[in-house]
Amino acid sequence: MATGCSEPYVAPRPSAPATTRDESAAASTLVALERALSAGDADGAGSLAADDRVRRQLAAAATNVRRVRLVDIRLRYLASTGAQRGDGEWTASAELSWRYAGYDDGVARREVEVAFTADGESVARLGGGGAATPIWAAGPVAVARGPRYLVVSRGGAARTERLARLARAAVDSVGATLGGAPSVVLEAPRSAAELHRALAAGAHQYDAVAAVTAPVDGSVADDAPVHVLINPGEFDPLDRVAAQVVVTHETVHAVTRAPLAVGAPLWLVEGFADYVALREVDLPTTRTAGQISAQARRNGVPDRLPEQAAFNTSAEHLGAQYEAAWLACVVIADRAGEAALIALYDDVLTGADLDAALRRRAGWTVEELTREWRARIATVAGLSQ
């Protein structure tokens, strides 16, 4: 039998949030932040932060605008996202736009997440939350530039200078092969996690690669800025020759805007980039084709040219697939000449049918190329067919 107070039970009311989010004030805060960033005003940007950590980030971003020479800065409020926290903090999506003056033709546009205090008058976080955080907005950067390269690095002076030397040699090598005066932007985040945030990529998508070339805003627009981004954990330990091959390979992708090509076979895209990168490197075939040779000795010569899925960053035997693709391009150049290989690459990258372009430039069908390519793999692997 129950005893005690006979007063009726009344359930307590749920506690209300500290205050209602103010989206109008938040939009005004972003306008003020846009003005401060555009002016490179570190104090002005920092004054809009909710705490010291964010103040340092926003001040660094404004300083980076001056160092990198960013232009066309825009920061536009889109909509609130997610539930409001107990302390009143809430998040919104915003469109951030920028361009690297002198290097980018088009403007990059990324959706970023911004956290605000309840009143919308202070920024509690810029970036993160599963959305993109551009390298220049993540924290202080070091910059090295030349007439045809720009390095934006979240590392120290020595690392930045190393990347500048590699970028300088890469544009010289690519220009010597393809002609013209190519240029490249090389961005070096502080960690693999920061790389993934810059591209709004899956958490471990690029963990196994030394660098990736991509439109920095994730778009496929004709004028989307295409930059080379370094994965420091994989790239930094490389010796000089290997590091140069990586940077030159990626520079080919950036200069030819390969990431924007739709439907081009990746064996040609990747093999051609390695062809240019290895063209002036004095390495034995036992090294440049060592993995595909070992695979052929173990499992037999592959029946067909590498398929698209073989170049997935998580694919098994990825290195062997790159070597196989490189050998296919070497075989084409040996038959028809380097100029024909370059013309074939240009044709296919701009939408030409591979078989038709191969007939026109090298007098081969894909089947005939495959037969000669298989014979080359067998030769370098020390096998007989």
Is 225 part of any domain?
A: yes
The domain boundary, picked from 99, 121, 136, lies at 136
The domain boundary, picked from 231, 260, 289, lies at 260
Is 8 part of any domain?
A: no
Residue 127: name the closest of 274, 44, 379, 135 by CA: 135
Is 249 part of any domain?
A: yes
Q: Domain holding 127: CATH number? A: 3.10.450.50
Is 16 part of any domain?
A: no
The domain boundary, picked from 88, 104, 136, lies at 136
Predicted confidence (pLDDT) per residue in 28-38, tens digit: 999 999 999 99
Q: Domain holding 153: CATH number? A: 3.40.30
Is 6 part of any domain?
A: no
CA 122/CA 91 separation, integer angstroms: 12
Query: Which residue segment(s) compose the domain that 357 sits in?
Result: 261-385
| pTM, to two decimals | 0.92
Is 1 part of any domain?
A: no
Instruction: Mark whether 76 and 39 lie in a shared domain.
Output: yes
CA 192/CA 232 separation, integer angstroms: 7
Q: What is the DSSP letter of 150?
A: E
Q: What six digits make up the tokens of 267?
A: 């064996």
Predicted confidence (pLDDT) per residue in 117-135, tens digit: 999 999 999 998 889 999 9
Q: Under DSSP, is residue 103 helix (H, G, I), strand (E, B) or coil?
A: coil
Instruction: Mark whether 327 and 212 lie in a shared domain.
Output: no
| Total count of domains within the chain | 3
Predicted confidence (pLDDT) per residue in 43-100, tens digit: 999 999 999 999 999 999 999 999 999 999 999 999 999 889 888 999 999 999 999 9
